[in-house]
Structure formats: C-alpha cells, structure tokens
Amino acid sequence: MRAISQDTLGGPEVLKDVELARPEPGLSEVLVAVHAAGLNPTDWKHRAGGPFLGEPPFVLGWDVSGVVEAVGFGVTLFQPGDEVFGMLPYPHGVGSHAQYVTGPARAFVHKPVSLDHVQAGALPLAALTAHQALVDTADVQPGQRVLIHAAAGGVGHLAVQIAKARGAYVIGTARAAKHALLRELGADELIDYRTTDFRERVGTVDVVLDSLAGETRMRSLDVLRKGGTLVTILHGATRDETRSAAERGVRLAAMLVEADHAGMQAIADLAAAGRLRPHIDATFPLAQAAEAHALGRLGRTTGKIVLVVK
C-alpha cells in the first residue's frame, strides 16, 4: 500500500510517499481502506519532533474515514463493506495517512449517510477533543456561558456547535473575517482578539475552552465564575496558573484526547441530526501531504485540512 512516512524529524520536506506492506487486523481489530484522513496540529508537531512518538520512521495520522476491508477475530460491530469513521488510539495508534490502516473495532462507528468521507475524515480527533472537553470534563449545561478561544480552528469550530447542542450561550474569539462563519455555526457572541481584550467584553463565564495557553490561559481565569472550569487541550498548567486558579476557586483541567466509542457515537448522532458539520478549509491528495502540512503549520486554517486517499 501507499503511505506517507518519514525517516527523520523536520519540516514538511521529510514526508515521503512510500510503499509499505498492507497491515492485517489482529484480535478485535478492523482493517479499513482509508478514503479520507484529517490533518491536525498534532500531526505537524510530531513530524517536527512532538512529545509522544519518539524517533521515526512512522506514518502519521489519527483521523480515519473509510470502508471496512476485513475484521479480526472477536469483532461483532462491523463487517466488510461497512462505511466507518473514527480516531485511532491517541497517541500510539497513529498511521491513517495511508491507503489502509488497522485499529480497534471500538475506535470506530458507522459513518452517517449524510456525511461524505471528506467530512467524516475531518471530524474524529477534533470533535472528540471538543466533546471530551465540554461534555465529559466541563459537563456544560443549558444556559451556561461558554468561552471558546480560537473558535474558528479545527477544534474550536466544532466546539461551538457542540456547546450550542448542549444549550449553552457561546462566546468565541477569532479574527473578524471568520465571524460570519461562526455565526452560521451558532456562536452567540464573537470577539476579535486582535483588537479587543476579551476580558472587557465577556463578563463572567462558566466554562473556558483553551487551545492557546500562555497569556491567554492566565487571562481566561479572570472571567471564570467561582466554581467554573477552564479546560486546556495543550500542555499542562504552570505553577502560577494552578495557584491562580485555586485562589479564584475555579477548576483548571488539562486533558488529552482519547479513543472513545461512546464519544464517537455521540458525534455521529449530532452529525446525522445536522447539528455538527466540519468546515473544510482545504483538501489534498495523499501524495501532497507535505503541501498540506505546510499550509497547516501557518496557523491560519479555518476548520480542517483533509487528505483524500480514495
């Protein structure tokens, strides 16, 4: 099979289109013929030397949408020919930027017919991150005020929709040029972070979703009500941030996305109901993965970049 691999750490130029042996599904695994695979910041970070995968060679990619090719012993949820999507176990289940990939059957769910493979391939890692942050960690409730930083990003634009589906009042920070899209997705209030200090506009909120860290995370503590929650999806909090959160009586939770069958089913259900849709910024054929990485690392993407395999 064709795959995008690398032998060294570095820039997009280290990515190579190679031929590898097609994997076989093991116990409780499925073999999926990949039709589309999303690209996430963790991909270009690990390409350059991220914290979890160590030294190459490796094939990147955690998002998958495709068709079940074969099933291993013990699999009862799927059969060959089923259209599925899901996230390979993060971080060590990596490898979806290829024509075929194996993974635990329960990392996948049936793809809604309302989504094509590109849309489905864009969702898993980013949508699971948003869902696990807002639903599992912060337990967002109807009427709560939720502040989402980088609201037009891969995680952010999905988090806006998930928070709205929970009945929250959603405030997002993003460049003004991206406000129209975010209003379409359900944001109630938007702030251009380049011209406005969000602390002067948002009042008090119940939940903050932080995907920026640094000064933004510290300033976000200022707008949380006592008993509120700040969920960060980046590296853990500093000693100063932890102390500041404790002094304010707020919870600061650092999370790492996990493969999650129930979470993926909730995402599939929202998508099938028309309440969750990814915005596709760009698509690239698998062979142009380096170009996709170069675009992604600029940090200006609205929504998601997807590699199209079939």
Q: Tell me how far apart the alpha carbons of residues 69 and 178 are, in angstroms, rounded to a whole number.
A: 39
Q: Is the pLDDT of residue 161 over 90?
A: yes
Identify the pLDDT of residue 299. Answer: 83
Question: 265 lies in a domain?
Answer: no
Q: Does 95 lie in the same domain as 14?
A: yes
Q: In this predicted model, what pLDDT tens digit does every residue of 246-256 receive, in sequence order?
A: 999 999 999 99
- Residue 139 and residue 229 share a domain: yes
Q: Rounded distance, CA 305 to CA 303, Å? A: 7
pLDDT in tens, 42-96: 999 999 998 999 999 999 999 999 999 999 999 999 999 999 999 999 999 999 9
pLDDT tier for residue 237 given thresholds of 50, 70 and 90 = confident
Q: What is the pLDDT of residue 213?
A: 75
Q: Is residue 217 located within the same domain as residue 132?
A: yes
The reply to whether 140 and 232 lie within a common domain is: yes
| 140 and 247, same domain (yes or no) | yes
Residues 110 and 160 in one domain: no
**What is the rounded distance in angstroms from the CA atom of residue 94 to the CA atom of residue 130?**
20
Kindly indicate the confidence band of residue 238, based on its pLDDT and cuts at 50, 70 and 90: confident
Which of 13-17, 193-197, 264-268 bottoms out in mean pLDDT, i.e. has the lowest?
193-197
Alpha helices for the chain (secondary structure H): 41-48, 117-122, 124-131, 154-165, 179-184, 214-220, 239-248, 261-272, 289-296
- Is 132 part of any domain? yes
138 belongs to a structural domain: yes
Is 90 exceeded by the pLDDT of residue 235? Answer: no
CATH number of the domain that residue 66 is part of: 3.90.180.10
The pLDDT value given to residue 72: 98
pLDDT at 134: 98
The whole-angstrom separation of Cα 207 and Cα 221 is 10
Report if residue 270 sits inside a domain.
Answer: no
Which neighbouring-strand residues pair with 282? 305
Domain count, the chain: 2
User: Is the domain of 112 the same as that of 138?
Assistant: no
Residue with the bigger pLDDT between 207 and 236: it is: 207
Same domain, 55 and 147: no
Judge if 92 and 138 occupy the same domain: no
Write down the pLDDT at residue 184: 97
The last residue of one of the domains, among 254, 269, 300, is 254
Please report which confidence band the pLDDT of residue 300 belongs to, taking 50, 70 and 90 as the band edges. Answer: confident
Question: CA-to-CA distance for 172 and 267, rounded, in angstroms?
Answer: 21
162 with 183, same domain: the answer is yes
Beta strands in the chain (DSSP E): 2-6, 16-19, 29-39, 58-59, 63-71, 83-87, 100-104, 108-110, 145-148, 169-173, 189-191, 205-210, 224-232, 251-254, 280-285, 304-308
Q: Which domain holds residue 245?
A: 126-254
**Domain of 214: which CATH number?**
3.40.50.720
Give the mean pLDDT of 279-300. Answer: 95
Tell me what the mean pLDDT of segment 195-206 comes to: 95
How does the average pLDDT of the chain come out, rounded? Answer: 96
Residue 164 tokens, joined:
């709205």
Domain check: are 69 and 176 in the same one?
Answer: no
Residue 79 domain-assigned (yes or no): yes
At 142, is the pLDDT very low, low, confident or very high (cuts 50, 70, 90)?
very high
Mean pLDDT, residues 114-143: 98
Would the pTM count as exceeding 0.85? yes
CA distance 79 to 32: 11
Q: At what angle do helices 124-131 and 261-272 cross, to 10 degrees?
A: 100
Which pLDDT value is given to residue 310? 85
Domain check: are 140 and 242 in the same one? yes
Confidence of residue 236 (pLDDT cuts 50, 70, 90): confident
The per-residue pLDDT for 212 is 87
State the average pLDDT over residues 195-204. Answer: 94
Contact at 8 Å (CB) between 1 and 22?
yes
Query: How confident is the model over 203-223, as pLDDT tens digits?
Result: 999 999 999 878 889 899 999
Give me 90's structure tokens: 């993060």
Residue 273: inside a domain: no
- Over range 221-250, report the average pLDDT: 92
**Structure confidence at residue 74 (pLDDT):** 98
